[in-house]
Amino acid sequence: MEGLISLKTTPGISSQSIPSFNHPPNFFLRRSSMDLPLRRSNFFAIRAHQSDTVSPKKEEDEDALKVKEWEVGMFQNEVAASQGIRIRRRPPTGPPLHYVGPFEFRLQNEGNTPRNILEEIVWHKDMEVSEMKGKKPLAALKKVIENAPPTRDFVGALKAAHSRAGLPGLIAEVKKASPSRGILRENFDPVEIARAYEKGGAACLSVLTDEKYFKGSFENLEAIRNAGVKCPLLCKEFVIDAWQIYYARIKGADAILLIAAVLPDLDIRYMIKICKMLGLAALVEVHDEREMDRVLGIEGIELIGINNRNLETFEVDISNTKKLLEGERGQMIRQKDIIVVGESGLFTPDDVAYVQEAGVRAVLVGESIVKQSDPGKGITGLFGKDISL
Ligand SMILES: O=P(O)(O)OC[C@@H](O)[C@@H](O)c1c[nH]c2ccccc12
């Protein structure tokens, strides 16, 4: 049985004063900008609070707007679920409330506990982004972007590396830690690692910016960009809000990751448009056939990453890349001239040859090269030869 985790009375609101409502009480708006959960208690508390200052007509309009917002939120969650997206968005104020007479109480494990690590990361990101947005509003970011140096051609660099060496172009990842592997490198100097990767023949770099789970940062991204590293940079983030794309752009990103397990199609479409506007490449990441099919239905995608790691369970299986590129899917990818990136769990020249054979033109590698005392030499070990020549 689930535990009772809080119990309190609500001043001014008794169960009798709450009109019945057809919507489930624990439904939350998805958008982080609308942080107020429109449960009936809040909804009517807002009304009560406003009633002496707002005219009845205005109040009615505002109520109608709140109900509409609630419905739109419900619709968005339903759309995500219908696309097979299992990752739910964070309930803004914890577990849903229940009422017995004048008492409110909350139950544990009732939609308030993340079901897996990806969901936990996304819920934490929701809070982080709301806070950062407050400090740096979009309008301010847009001003900075007006004077920002141009982006570098991420896709072009991968294509050039692939046709030059006849091997998958390498996106080398600046990665200090991960939730599945813990700390990968103790003495971690992001700029030094980035320079070693560049010297070792990487076509592009990936820089983790998530702090809590991957011990990365936007400062790392900015420092690598400002250190004169020429490889185009992928901002490796959990993007849930377009604001993050603008922020990545001002911190020096040339490309950004969009994870299909987290984002509904409409969000991916919208974010790809923003990327194009800002001169960024979008690497759209999939893990299974369903996500691949969704993404193949979206116009304008140039780069698809196949993650061999399941972000919900951490299981790694490099045959996933092969599986997702077989048959009609592979055909469609070739027709559309999409560059596929094989991601995660690649350690040996055999691994690289295996995913190349499966059809990738690029690979994204972290652990196996970042762990080496000289990450540049790690690249030589990964490919079985010096690719910097
Ligand atoms: O360290 P690896 O197994 O070589 O994996 C690198 C990269 O693929 C992995 O870090 C990654 C792929 N997709 C992600 C999404 C979020 C965070 C991390 C990732």
Decide: 116 and 129 in contact? Cβ < 8 Å: no
Question: Could you give the C-alpha distances from 217 to 13, 56, 65, 95, 310, in angstroms and in order?
Answer: 44, 49, 38, 30, 23
Domain boundary among 92, 113, 134: 113
Probe target for ligand 1 pocket from 120, 121, 173, with the most ligand atoms within 8 Å of CB = 173
Looking at residue 43, what is its pLDDT?
33
Is 285 in the active site? yes
Residues 341, 270 share a domain: yes
Q: Is the ipTM of this complex over 0.90?
A: yes
Beta strands at 4-9 and 103-107: parallel, antiparallel or unpaired: antiparallel
How far is the C-alpha of 136 from the C-alpha of 139, rounded, in Å? 8
105, HSE (Cβ side, Cα atoms, 13 Å): 12
Is 143 in the active site? no
Residues 194, 57 share a domain: no
Domain boundary among 83, 113, 143: 113
Mean of per-residue pLDDT scores for the chain: 84
Residues 281, 330 share a domain: yes
Catalytic residue among 307, 308, 320, 368: 307
Secondary element (H or E) of residue 363: strand 362-365
Residues 160, 56 share a domain: no
CB under 6 Å to ligand 1: residues?
173, 175, 236, 285, 307, 343-346, 364-368
Residues 142, 103 share a domain: no
Domain of residue 238 covers 126-383
Which regions of the chain are under pLDDT 50? 1-54
For residue 369, give the ligand 1 atom closest to its CA: 4
Beta strands at 233-236 and 204-208: parallel, antiparallel or unpaired: parallel
Domain boundary among 84, 113, 142: 113
State the burial class of residue 121 (Cβ atoms within 10 Å of its Cβ: 0-12, 13-18, 19+): buried
101, HSE (Cβ side, Cα atoms, 13 Å): 2
Q: pLDDT of 92-104, one tens digit each? A: 655 556 677 777 6
Is 236 in the active site? yes
CATH number at residue 334: 3.20.20.70
Coil/strand/helix, residue 9 = strand
Is 307 in the active site? yes
Decide: 98 and 107 in contact? Cβ < 8 Å: yes
Residue 65 in tokens: 């707007």
Residues 148, 107 share a domain: no
Residues 134, 99 share a domain: no
| 255 Cβ contact partners less than 8 Å away, ≥ 6 residues apart | 154, 204, 232, 233, 234, 235, 280, 281, 282, 283, 303
Domain annotation covers residue 388: no
Domain annotation covers residue 270: yes
How far is the C-alpha of 252 from the C-alpha of 353, rounded, in Å? 32
Residue 388 in tokens: 């910097």
Domain annotation covers residue 389: no
Alpha helices by DSSP H, the chain:
40-50, 56-82, 117-135, 138-146, 154-165, 190-200, 218-226, 243-250, 265-278, 289-296, 319-325, 327-335, 349-358, 367-370, 375-383
Beta strands at 103-107 and 97-100: parallel, antiparallel or unpaired: antiparallel
State the residue for tokens 């200052």.
Answer: 53
Cβ-based neighbour number of residue 164 at 10 Å = 13
Is 175 in the active site? yes
The model carries a pTM of: 0.80
Looking at residue 100, what is its pLDDT?
74
Catalytic residue among 66, 125, 175, 215: 175
Decide: 268 and 274 in contact? Cβ < 8 Å: no
CA of 266 relative to ligand 1 center, distance in Å: 24
Looking at residue 56, what is its pLDDT?
64
Residues 84, 109 share a domain: yes
Residues 266, 185 share a domain: yes
Total structural domains within the chain? 2
Looking at residue 291, what is its pLDDT?
97
Domain annotation covers residue 118: no
Is 173 in the active site? yes
Domain annotation covers residue 45: yes
Domain annotation covers residue 48: yes
How far is the C-alpha of 76 from the C-alpha of 79, rounded, in Å? 5
Looking at residue 79, what is its pLDDT?
76
Residues 182, 108 share a domain: no
Q: Nearest-CA neighbor of 376 among 389, 360, 358?
A: 389
Residues 107, 133 share a domain: no
Angle at 26 between CA 50 and CA 90, to 5 degrees: 100
Domain annotation covers residue 120: no
Residue 70 in tokens: 């609630």
Residues 195, 305 share a domain: yes
Q: What phi and psi values does residue 75 have, to the nearest 5 degrees?
A: -60, -45
Domain annotation covers residue 20: yes
Q: What phi and psi values does residue 62 have, to the nearest 5 degrees?
A: -65, -40
For residue 259, give the ligand 1 atom closest to its CA: 15
Helix, strand, coil tally for the chain in percent (to 5): 45, 15, 40
Ramachandran category for residue 146: left, alpha or beta (phi over 0 → left; psi -120 to 50 → alpha): alpha
Of all protein residues, whose CA lies closest to atom 18 belonging to ligand 1?
236
For residue 173, give the ligand 1 atom closest to its CA: 6
